[in-house]
Amino acid sequence: MKITFISQKPPCFIERNTPHVPVDLAQQCALKAYNHHYSQLEQMKNEWDVVILLIPKTQEDRNNLYSLFPYDSENNELVTKAKQISKQVWYMQEGPSWIFQDLPIHQQFWHYSVLTNVDGILCENKTDIPYYKGLVGDKQVTDIPSVMIEDLIKDYSSIEKEEKVMIGGNFCRWYGGFDSYIVAQEFECEIFAPSMGRRIENEEQVPNLTHYPYLNWNQWIKTLASHKYAVHLMPTIAAGTFSMNCAFLGLPCIGYEEADTQRLLHPNLSVKVGDVEHARKLANKLKNDKKFLENCSKECKLNYEKLYSEKQFLKHMKKTFNLGEYND
């Protein structure tokens, strides 16, 4: 089976020994898929079983896409071109389902025309499925689970955990870093955070908070593995990568239940969006109840192996695409 993603990223094929394989590249790698840039679409041959379209999240990249495939109320030229080279064309969600609703009105309808013209929609979470079904009716809508390529990180879960806590994002509304920081203080230990694109001014001045420098994905997993606790109260429901990374490492993570990875992998540490009070109580319990901590650690790792292994990912996607075996 031949699969390609079409996105704003440069053309590539991700090898399994690549040190930087975040979730979007991991899905591509697991599927043995290629990535082509939108500008290549006109020259591509009709040789693909599945094309997966990703709409850029940044305005600059979106403007480049709109210039290549302008809005037409009758059809969507991007999808039309993609259907000329593939048996199936799917839209893949990136970011929250509402992300396109902050765009200028003609761009909102351009986005909607992609959804209504593709053969199917791949959601980041099962909780997003009713939203997209409401927009497109009887069209096939399913989830595309997050996945990890474990080849270079298999031994990291055995790294000894230190008395410190990792919060999953920066101090902006998108990541909910402020709320995570407040809850993390319950552990009464050092608090760490990653350096990400939405880091706000003077964030480094927050007391008892250390930012790691930018790390590639391999370095990130190794660094995360040394923490004893994790908190990620991210109100923006997206791919849920942080909760999944924690589960792979057996690292208990407190987070919002609307994200599939959090709810399914850390069921006893999941709270409703905005329920910081419950999150603080769970942090206190993790700190003071050794048995609860051990059970949460074992449970999340077992859940990861059962629900989010690469084998389970491929089984789900093969069923979704209803095609034959994957090419080696």
> What mean pLDDT is reported for the chain?
94
* Confidence (pLDDT) at 1: 85
Kindly state whether residues 182 and 170 are assigned to the same domain.
yes
Residue 198 contacts residue 175 (beta carbons within 8 Å) = yes
DSSP character string of 82-109? HHTTEEEEEEE--S-TTGGGGS-HHHHH
**Region 242-258 average pLDDT:** 97
**Each residue of 191-228: pLDDT tens digit?**
999 987 677 888 889 999 999 999 999 999 999 999 99
Banded pLDDT at 95 (limits 50, 70, 90):
confident
CATH code (residue 10): 3.40.50
For 76, the domain range is 3-147+310-321
- Global pTM? 0.93
Separation of alpha carbons 150 and 163, rounded Å: 25
Tell me how many domains the chain contains.
Answer: 2
Kindly state whether residues 280 and 143 are assigned to the same domain.
no
Burial of 294-305, coded b for 16+ CB within 10 Å and e otherwise, reads eebbebbbebbe
Task: Note whether residue 38 is domain-resident.
Answer: yes
Banded pLDDT at 327 (limits 50, 70, 90):
very low
CATH code (residue 166): 3.40.50.2000
Kindly state whether residues 188 and 302 are assigned to the same domain.
yes
* Confidence (pLDDT) at 324: 53
Banded pLDDT at 59 (limits 50, 70, 90):
confident
* Confidence (pLDDT) at 198: 74
Kindly state whether residues 239 and 137 are assigned to the same domain.
no
Residue 253 contacts residue 317 (beta carbons within 8 Å) = no
Kindly state whether residues 183 and 258 are assigned to the same domain.
yes
Burial class (CB in 10 A: 0-12, 13-18, 19+), 11: exposed
Q: What is the CA radius of gyration of the chain?
A: 20
Banded pLDDT at 9 (limits 50, 70, 90):
very high
Kindly state whether residues 234 and 91 are assigned to the same domain.
no
